[in-house]
């Protein structure tokens, strides 16, 4: 039997950084597009399949800086010009491809008039 004290695990950093933020700080986020709202109301539904496909076209999950960052929640009141989500990509071509895909689809977020 050993008299040595058990070694403790290293303390985790109190600062948590998202993959996209880390990629931006490291300079590998090659581009992003912020998609904003054109009408005020309340978020009633989100087409997650289209969001997931847009993230994949932008390079996720293979590219660390690629993906979709959603800025609103279901039921949230939103106003004109408010950001809904941001597309991130490491390659400008992938960002362009994902943007064209999103533009070709019906709206991803269903917004209804506020009560």
Task: Tell me if 6 is assigned to some domain.
Answer: no
Q: Report the domain count for the chain.
A: 1
**In 3-state terms, what secondary structure has residue 51?**
helix
Q: How many CB atoms lie within 10 A of CB 92?
A: 10
Q: For the segment 10-47, what is each residue's pLDDT rounded down to a tens digit? A: 444 434 445 555 555 545 455 677 777 778 999 999 99
> Does some domain include residue 82?
yes
Count CB atoms within 10 A of the CB of residue 73.
9
> Which domain range does residue 56 map to?
20-108
CATH code, domain with 80: 3.90.1170.30
Looking at residues 49-68, what average pLDDT do you find? Answer: 93
- Determine phi and psi for 88, rounding to 5 degrees: -120, 140
Residue 48 lies in a domain: yes
Q: Is 115 contained in some domain?
A: no
Q: Is residue 8 part of a domain?
A: no
Q: Per-residue confidence at 73, pLDDT binned at 50, 70, 90?
A: very high
Separation of CA 47 from chain center? 14
């Amino acid at each position: 039997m050993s008299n040595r004290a058990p070694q403790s695990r290293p303390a985790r950093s109190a600062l948590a950084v998202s993959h996209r933020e880390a990629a931006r700080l490291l300079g590998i986020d090659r581009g992003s597009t912020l998609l904003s709202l054109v009408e005020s109301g309340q978020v009633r539904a989100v087409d997650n399949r289209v969001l997931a496909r847009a993230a994949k076209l932008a390079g996720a999950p293979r590219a660390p800086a690629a993906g979709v960052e959603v800025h609103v929640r279901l039921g949230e009141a939103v106003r004109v010009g408010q950001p809904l989500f941001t597309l991130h990509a490491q390659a400008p071509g992938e960002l362009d491809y994902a943007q064209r895909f999103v533009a070709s689809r019906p709206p991803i977020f269903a917004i209804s008039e506020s009560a």
